[in-house]
Amino acid sequence: MTSASGVPAYRRVLLKLSGEALMGSDAYGINREVLMRVAAEIKTVVATGVQLAVVIGGGNIFRGIAPSAQGMDRASADYMGMLATVMNSLAMQDALEKLDVPVRVQSALRVDQVVEPYVRRRAIRHLEQGRVVIFAAGTGNPFFTTDTAATLRGMEIGADVVLKATKVDGVYDRDPVKHPDAKRFETISFDEVLEKRLGVMDAASIALCRDQKMHLRVFSIQKAGNLLRVCRGEDVGTLVKGA
């Protein structure tokens, strides 16, 4: 799908950012320069009229405390990870507000003193009024990843597509870091992703997208302007869709 230059191809999108994407070259945590660059890309997209919601992982923060979580009850560790996503969401909210972008954070865990609770209809209303909505704390339940939360929220708000922004410029048949001759797919089906175990997103997320006929595009957030190009319908990265 390619639209005329400057015209968005999607009305509403769900952007999934990994926590690691905010680290830059740091070992863990939030790299302020990277954060502001991503926020500026979001601002550019919103200025075109696209309604944009965001889910951010927590790996960049949880990585720093992971050794302490070893041997911990899985549910407790997952709740720690959810709280890490709240921290990332607040950081992104601050970055966007510094760029004069209206934004709200909604959390699946109740943290009412700092963010709104997740309410689907309120989230949609925010989007319709031109605000970026950041969904924090995953699904609010342990044993589910932020990938699953992203696909779930995307469907709940009626997004046209789920965009997964990573450090890699698409889906490959092998790890391109370890295998320089790895082949990148321009398009691939959800069934192929599951059969080949390509690790695009967790299996539950892929199956959910497939069953609900939600397209998924995987692209690199590290190349400036990629988010805008994707939202214009340009063939950036890899499109994952039904067979």
Q: Which residues are annotated as a binding site for ATP?
A: 16-19, 59, 63, 166, 172, 175
Nearest to 53 by CA among 158, 183, 140, 175: 158
Q: In what order do the strands lie in the sheet with 132-136?
A: 116-117, 103-107, 132-136, 51-56, 12-17, 161-166, 215-220, 238-241, 187-189
Residue the block writes with tokens 């954070």: 105
Strand partners, 137: none
- Find the length of the chain: 243
The answer to whether 226 touches 236, Cβ cutoff 8 Å, is yes
Coil, strand or helix at 166: strand
Strand partners, 56: 17
- Annotated binding residues: 16-19, 58-59, 63, 78, 139-146, 166, 172, 175
Q: DSSP string spanning 87-137? A: HHHHHHHHHHHHTT--EEEEESS--TTTSEEP-HHHHHHHHHTT-EEEEES
- Annotated binding residues for UMP: 58, 78, 139-146
Residues in CB range of 90: below 8 A, 6 or more apart: 105, 114, 115, 136
CA 12 to chain centre: 14
